[in-house]
Structure 1
């Protein structure tokens, strides 16, 4: 995250000061400038909050308490400058939301949502919008739903991405988890969007919902499958990826992965001791012993050793293939074992297992040495 932190550095804040000074001649941005020179070792999120506090202090110095309408006017004026862009827009959006939520004028809530839509083509408003959703979910979603018909793809993506239940880096909104049906109309309106940027967000949103509401996800995916365009199969497949890995029968069936008569060999490993860093290569055979063609979702599972001596498993996608009756296919793969911040390996007994159309097959042990 070190390099990420520097996305908001003193130089970036200095550029923001200059843009705002041009947008609001005569205004003083001393607190914002001070914030830019005192970032220290703060994380990107902490820098966002620190710079936003500087902005709020400058607006409060101009009119106490700080006024949302004044800030919105300045930010809209700044949008006339192409230099009003980059990661310093994150504290700008957070500042706008703070002032709107503190405002006594009801209309400022909707206006702030509109401002986020105007700002999001310069830098996504997906993080700042979370506090608007938390403050009044139904009121915010009513506005967000209208964005699905917006001419700008960035605004349409904001409708889907900003309302994801498990948006990375973002605060959780309990209502989005407790009411999985709340955002389905947004996804219904966007799954055939002409831009892949938007469709990918829709698929990721659907996959988020699968964590806690698989039935709502399957109902939505079934509706999309019944009214598809050329890109719908990918959107559905990507949106159901976690359910397929978890061998959910409904998700497998919707993707055409029916129970099949198979013969599956145990995986043959190229080594039985893996000394990190290394790749473990393996291969196996699948035979269709049935009388009908078999469409197969082929996955594999690594059973990792944990620090406490127990094992935890992770499912990895391998292939989707179709075997005719009597056909045998050899499948091979190399799996990397590297120490990473997202996965810390521990020495000891591991295992590799195959999963085909949700059914688990041969289980082969191996050792990992650090």
Structure 2
């Protein structure tokens, strides 16, 4: 169990209970009280669901009562932080259970109020799944709200691949549906909002690259001082994948580039003990100047024996006609929480504006697991 799981803990639940008793002293809240004692071993998402379900059991039924109680909670100073997350989930569940358009619209409005204290981005997904077009119609009106948290919710809550969140199939099937939201926010005054817009656009590159580059092209034609950064961040996956239009939009040019096979410093890399250092020569073979984005990929062994490449940014250079540059990089193989290293064949390649070098192979070994025999 990690530190993230402890964000919903007995103290947080106790403070939520106290806040509810402040606005409704007669509530028994027996299910919520019991929830404090059963958290051990539960993941964060399960804890959120536990508290949501306790609220559904303990609080008076009916959406009008939900609006009244949660509305009064918002004026309680102690109602803050992580206790708001399960409350947003409770609001969405009650609104959808009611089934009426009035409750749906009321739930959306209440989620917009709650997001000021802690993002409603996960709860809003339930509303989008249930009635995507009606939800989007409301969300589009949030793009000019004074509060930056509400504006960010418009972008973040509608991302195609929002981390930790439920997928909304309709959004993936209709990748241009949120373009109006992004067009309204890409020049937002808050970096918090602009970063969400860039991540939202990058999500869409997995679904519809043409929509992404078309959107970015429109922004470039009506840009402010922050727009180049938003475009570059929003196109980062397409740039790594060497999409020609994405490269051109961020200023890279030159398609007659040669990349020689990388030269590796060592053909055996021991996990936690060695790093891989490699060099590669990139040459502009065109008769005009080239601005090149240079990246590298490591082909990592997976548990099932396949090799899966992951691309990393290396550098960018301007090259005159016929000019060559030698790039060097050291890649660590120390254990990290986000990657498991499996012994076996790996490879490294270097790419410039999408032109890839031949692969240079090396072998990863894990000496912590005992003796290693190479060349077998």
* Band of TM-score, shorter chain: over 0.9
- Is the CA contact 2:116–2:150 (under 8 Å) kept in the aligned structure 1? yes
| Deviation digits for residues 80-121 of structure 1 (CA, Å, limit 9, x no counterpart) | 123211112111001111111111542111111111111112
Give the whole-Å Cα distance in 1 for the aligned partners of 2:23 and 2:223. Answer: 46
SS at match of 1:182: coil
Residue number in structure 2 paired with 1:19: 19
How big is the shift at 1:261? 3.6
SS at match of 2:7: coil
Please tell me the root mean square deviation across aligned C-alpha atoms, in Å.
1.6
Give the whole-Å Cα distance in 1 for the aligned partners of 2:258 and 2:200. Answer: 36
Give the whole-Å Cα distance in 1 for the aligned partners of 2:259 and 2:161. Answer: 37
SS at match of 1:6: helix
Residue number in structure 2 paired with 1:205: 200
> Under a length normalisation based on structure 1, what TM-score does the superposition of the two structures give?
0.94
- Is the CA contact 2:187–2:227 (under 8 Å) kept in the aligned structure 1? yes
The counterpart of 2:116, out of the listed 121, 125, 131, is 121
Residue number in structure 1 paired with 2:152: 157
> Counterparts of 1:1-20 in structure 2 under 5 Å?
2-20=2-20
How big is the shift at 1:326? 4.6
Give the whole-Å Cα distance in 2 for the aligned partners of 1:103 and 1:174. Answer: 23
| Deviation digits for residues 326-363 of structure 1 (CA, Å, limit 9, x no counterpart) | 54433222212233453222211211111110111242
Structure 1 portions without partners, runs of 5+? none
Give the whole-Å Cα distance in 2 for the aligned partners of 1:247 and 1:200. Answer: 22
Count of matched residue positions in the alignment of Structure 1 and Structure 2: 365
Give the whole-Å Cα distance in 2 for the aligned partners of 1:80 and 1:120. Answer: 14
Residue number in structure 1 paired with 2:143: 148
Give the whole-Å Cα distance in 1 for the aligned partners of 2:252 and 2:319. Answer: 12
- Is the CA contact 1:52–1:92 (under 8 Å) kept in the aligned structure 2? yes
Give the whole-Å Cα distance in 1 for the aligned partners of 2:101 and 2:344. Answer: 60
Residue number in structure 1 paired with 2:101: 106
How big is the shift at 1:78? 1.4
- Is the CA contact 1:252–1:358 (under 8 Å) kept in the aligned structure 2? no
How big is the shift at 1:260? 3.7
The counterpart of 1:177, out of the listed 172, 191, 202, is 172
Structure 2 portions without partners, runs of 5+? 367-376
- Is the CA contact 1:36–1:51 (under 8 Å) kept in the aligned structure 2? no
Residue number in structure 2 paired with 1:252: 247
Residue number in structure 2 paired with 1:332: 328
- Is the CA contact 1:161–1:205 (under 8 Å) kept in the aligned structure 2? yes
Relative to structure 1, is the Cα distance of residues 307 and 56 closer, same or farther in structure 2, using a 3 angstrom cutoff? closer
Residue number in structure 2 paired with 1:283: 279
SS at match of 1:331: strand
- Is the CA contact 1:163–1:176 (under 8 Å) kept in the aligned structure 2? yes
Structure 1 residue 306 and structure 2 residue 305: aligned? no
The counterpart of 1:189, out of the listed 161, 184, 192, is 184
- Is the CA contact 2:258–2:355 (under 8 Å) kept in the aligned structure 1? no
